Chains A and B, each alone.
Chain A
Amino acid sequence: MSHETLLQIKDLKVHFPLPKKMLEKRSVVKAVDGITLDIKAGETLGLVGESGCGKSTLGRAMLQLIRPTAGQVLFEGQDLTGLWKQRFGVFGVWSPSEIMRKMRQDMQMIFQDPYSSLNPRMTVEDIVGEPLKNFGILSGRPLREKVQNLLEIVGMDPRYIRRYPHEFSGGQCQRIGIARALALNPKIIVADEPISALDVSIQAQILNLLERLQDEFNLTYIFIAHDLAAVRHISDRIAVMYLGKIVEISDQETIIKNPKHPYTKALISAIPIPDPDVEKSRKHIVLQGDVPSPINPPSGCAFHTRCPIAESRCSQEIPVLRDLGPGHKVSCHLV
């Protein structure tokens, strides 16, 4: 693994404005609220957290599929957030510039739902070949050969190119989605819950495929999932998110064996282990209540409303991400 930084995220914020109510200030959903991250070439970074914590938004904002509200995303030193341009003057829509379009060849995405991420009216050949056609890289016979080759790489029969998505199972559709993501030889792939819609026996097939492709093509992955066991299996480092912020980040071993943040601890203890003996002797930390709404997140540390060890200052001061040793950062007042 090389150690040069591929993607640098600096104080990234994505806020979604809500419809304004009369006589009230416009409220915003702070989906991603000040995240700083470095992603090294060739590594896999796992992003975990419960629904609504902003992990998917972060993944999309990294690729500029959503325009960040503030902050920077540097891809190989180039700031992507500066590549948006506003059409039709000051009130116009923001759209990606030609340079960003070119750069997107290096950044691809794999989606959660294998069926709805493939156009049902397109054949496998059209789906997998579309990125290549779009960038004018291949056409005609070489394009077909490339598509067949890509299908072989993801473990599918190349004769399937004339078929439509509905003729395939979920696992096979996910393979088609992966082939499409690979078509342009990207450097980084954001995989947003790529296995959670699949059957248990198929999940391992896709995880193994992703691992093999990483070795073969020297890919960098951002692996977004709520299943900590799967994230742990594939990731080198894991970032735990809660309400738009990273609460803890470290290498996967440390996160699982020596978690420091009370939320990480609770998250890990909540995951059932498929072994009745281990399960009996484990102590579960059961958190009270639900994840608060990101529209009006709690003051201070956003986790203090559910935290078993919260003190009075947790509701007042916002904790910062502090270093606790090599690469291990935690944002909690009490560790």
Chain B
Amino acid sequence: MEKLLSVDDLRIYFKLEKSIVKAVDGLSFDLNQGEILGIVGESGSGKSVTCLGLMDLNPQPPAYYPSGKIVFKGTNIMKATKEQLRKIRGNEISMIFQDPMSSLNPFLTVETQLCEVLIEHEGLTADQARKKAIDMLARVGIPSPDRRITQYPHQFSGGMRQRVMIAMALLCRPKLLLADEPTTALDVTIQAQILDLMKELNREYGTSIILITHDLGVVAGMAERSLVMYAGRIVERASTKDLFQKPKHPYTHALLKSIPRLDEVRGKKLDPIPGLPPDLSNLPGGCSFHPRCPKAVDKCKQTYPDVVTFDPTHNASCWEVSA
């Protein structure tokens, strides 16, 4: 399969008054054409910052990139000019956010916001753009789109707003869709609708999707491959199947054991992960997970573990697992 995106040793730090927050610290991964990649992690694990970083959208300062290379279809995004970036953003890579209300402009009609993308990137006339926008709204399942397009975001429900966001993101048939917690703010029955829609569009248009979420259930049903992030680094990567069935990293393991499942046996006690997620401006030495890790040994406190490879698609960073 063809490689669409490759990220190599990406570091995104934020310079604060007294400290440096290492939000993303040495991230490398590849994404193939048409693939859905899941990124799992808790808040503060750096998944959203990564997502913004892929489009060079982190405000600089305070953000800065000590190292890293993001190659999208042969273009290094980190070296790209403003002009090049403008052509990529919203056209070849687009993004949907967690909260659709705060990512749509409340003062503009949906029509204005949707057509803007088409007029900017494809040079369509207002009429052509409107027609295309209406088609896309219909495609994402908004009833009577020709009437709805004239309305303002507040006239839509949460699920409908997320559909508008998806329609906007897909108008230019992007090669890559970055979905940052796209269903977290939605009810479960609406979440099911939106996930279904994303899967359909992935099949139909061949759009690659990076799906960022904290919900392991969502990843299980959507992604072919998944990355688990903890404190700005990837701790485990595997096919989603292996990740759930043969988790290797103690964090992945613990995460899977700590969530209540609908199909679990009644009366089973949950195994919570002790302690708190680490403070990114003051990370523990060695492996960042060691203060909460049941398997931690002295070595874990001193040196960050090497990557242990189990098979070509499955590896984890931990001293205490063996291939």
Contact = CB atoms under 8 A, between A and B. Distances in A.
Nearest to A270: B192
B42 A199 contact: yes
B191 A270 contact: yes
B30 interface: no
A232 B188 contact: no
Contact of B214 (A200, A277, A286, A287): A200
Contacts, number: 131
Contact of A273 (B42, B217, B276): B217
Contacts of B272: 201-205, 207-208
A101 interface: no
Interface stretch (B13-21, B123-131, B252-260, B315-323): B252-260
Contact of A277 (B241, B258, B269): B241
Interface in B43-64: 43
Nearest to A169: B276
B254 A201 contact: yes
Contact of A202 (B158, B188, B271, B276): B276
Interface residues of B, number: 46
A271 B188 contact: yes
A270 B214 contact: no
Interface in A234-293: 252-253, 256, 266-280, 284, 286-287, 290-291
B1 interface: no
Contacts of B42: 199-201
B256 A286 contact: no
A284 B190 contact: no
Interface string B158-188: 1110000000000000000000000000011
Interface residues of A, number: 44
A291 B269 CA distance: 34
Contact of B255 (A200, A229, A272, A278): A200
A266 B187 CA distance: 12
A131 B273 CA distance: 31
A228 interface: yes
B190 A290 contact: yes
Task: Please indicate which of the listed interface residues A200, A253, A279 has the most CB atoms of chain B within 10 Å of its own CB.
Answer: A200
A169 B44 CA distance: 12
Interface string B221-260: 1000000000000000000110011000000001110111
Interface string B263-296: 1101001111110110000000000000000000
B187 A226 contact: yes
Interface string B92-118: 000000000000000000000000000
B266 A272 contact: no
Task: Please indicate which of the listed interface residues A229, A274, A280 has the most CB atoms of chain B within 10 Å of its own CB.
Answer: A274
Interface of B: 42-43, 157-160, 187-193, 195-196, 214-221, 240-241, 244-245, 254-256, 258-264, 266, 269-274, 276-277
